[in-house]
Structure 1
Amino acid sequence: MSNTRPILVLFLAALLCAAVLPLFARGSEPPAPQSNANPEWAEARWLPAGAAPLRHPLTALEESFASRFPGHIARFSDGRHVWIVRVMDRPTRMLHPAADCFRGLGYSVQPPRVHTDAHERNWRCFAAEKNGRHLKVCERIFDRQDGNWTDTSSWYWSALLGRESGPWWAVTQVEE
């Protein structure tokens, strides 16, 4: 038993550090929700070359989420793709992988893979299926300083610990 005591003490110390770390990280206080009117949409670095999407109203489910989201959300479509764009000024746990959303909506989701597009930008992509409807879903997060993330956890900890500064764009692209 005495051999395991130092390991237990180290384990408990690590748990305590992990629990209090967010309290001391820059930008750790939760931001107040903001309106969905945002001029950041004009900065369309998230658009594929040649795309000319139109902004569409959020769905009722997206509106409900947007009312609590600490940033801005908009929906765009070019008739073939739908883009959900979220802009955040601070790190938030309310940004989570699109695969989680699709699973929550009843889709079966294939394991995600990283895809590099023609502009050498990495996207996290997966296939989703529900009632015979097949979708290809890709997502990425980026900032103005060429920071790029394909998973929300890496972005969150990088942002929370102050390694990066906002705003950040989280783009989810859906294609049938």
Structure 2
Amino acid sequence: MEIFQNYPLWTALIAIVLAQAIKIPLAFIATRKLDLSLLTSTGGMPSSHSAAVTGVSTAIAIEHGLDSSLFAISAVFAVIVMFDATGVRRHAGYHATVLNQLVLDFNRLVEEVKTWPKKENEQKLKELLGHQPIEVFFGAVLGIILAFVLYPLLGSI
């Protein structure tokens, strides 16, 4: 099957899995808490989005050259994804933080005046949506390195 021989695709997928897996020990070092939910979470160090798009772009550059249309498309796509990760998605996370605080403050007020029962199953908005620029940078570095490491293994299939 041809999909199993698609070096850029496998580079991107492996970059995502590896970046997500790296988040667990890095978070453990910082917090001394083992959080396996980081395997499927957004945000954090390194950026799996950046790792994936730079991995696929680098793999395409290796296979087709820096002057190819495929590389141009993938490079523009990578820039847009990384810009979004540090811009729109990061600010959406800030908004989620503020909204969560507003909900807490509102519930505290309601509890104080005893006019509104506190809801037991209130849900918080996800706050860790985007990335700090350094997280995007290291995700990009991971993707590029991974593309070069995987080329001898997958690129010549």
User: TM-score, normalised to structure 2's length?
Assistant: 0.30
Greater fraction of residues in helix = 2
Of structures 1 and 2, the one scoring higher in RCO (CA 8 A, sep 6+) is 2
User: TM-score, normalised to structure 1's length?
Assistant: 0.27
Greater fraction of residues in strand = 1
